[in-house]
Amino acid sequence: MAATVLAATALAGLGAAVVCLIQLHRLEPDVAPVHDPVSNYGAGPHANWYRAQVILVGLATAALWFGLRSADLDGDGSAWLVVFALSRVSIAAFPTDLPGAERTAAGIVHNLLAVAAFGSVAVAASTLGGWLADTPEWSFDGAGYRWLGGLVAFTAVALAVAWLAPCAIRTFFGLVERCWYAVMILWLAVTAIGLIVG
């Protein structure tokens, strides 16, 4: 029962985060989705929507982790969900440095927390996802769920490549990050649904 309530709470939080992301894209058309990072919204006039969505994703992830623990499904890699949750909630307090602006301590912390978030959820999705897929009590087909976790890891690696690559590839960083957002939220949501139906 506790696992179901926590998973439902996680789903509600993820749904609210998606609403915040849609609102950000609607309110700030000057942020280019193909080029600009999502975090640029957090340094603009509608930063509260950005802060709300990262906190919602972090709290939803924490609820999911507690739900998995209460169902005895906190296997390999589940601790990385905690790292991801903490990094998402913490990043709300550290806005990014916009292009051309002076570099700040808050911007540096923001980048470090972003790296922690991208890396931790990639490890959680691939490791915990694989462990859950092999667990008889888990609700979803092993291959499909494992594939989705691998896609989270793939988009995280693609983000690193887009960030470190020459300017021609870095031009598409915003698009790659939005793909990561989509598969990350989808994986968390599917995991929460798996906990509910299981």
Residue 142 has pLDDT above 80, yes or no: no
Q: What is the pTM of this model?
A: 0.94
Task: Work out the average pLDDT over 123-148.
Answer: 86
With pLDDT > 70 as the criterion, what percentage of the chain qualifies?
97
Instruction: Give the DSSP letter of residue 93.
Output: T
Summarize the confidence of residues 143-159 as an average pLDDT. 92
pLDDT exceeds 70 at position 53 = yes
pLDDT of amino acid 12: 98
- Rounded distance, CA 69 to CA 71, Å? 5
For the cut 70, the answer to whether the pLDDT of residue 169 exceeds it is: no
> Distance from CA of residue 123 to its chain's centroid?
12
Scored b (16 or more CB within 10 A) or e, 149-172 reads: bbbbbbbbebbeebbeeeeeeeee
Give the pair of three-digit tokens for residue 74.
Answer: 């906190």
Residue 55 contacts residue 47 (beta carbons within 8 Å): no
State the residue for tokens 């390999």.
76
Residues 174, 32 contacting (CB under 8 angstroms)? yes
Q: Tokens 């700030």 appear where?
A: 28
- The per-residue b/e assignment along 32-46, b for 16 or more CB within 10 angstroms, e otherwise, is eeeebbbbbbbbbeb
Interval 69-119: pLDDT, tens:
999 988 888 999 999 999 999 999 999 988 878 899 999 999 999 999 999
**Angle, helices 2-27/47-70, rounded to nearest 10 degrees:** 160
Specify the pLDDT at position 30. 86
The residue to which tokens 């980048």 are assigned: 111
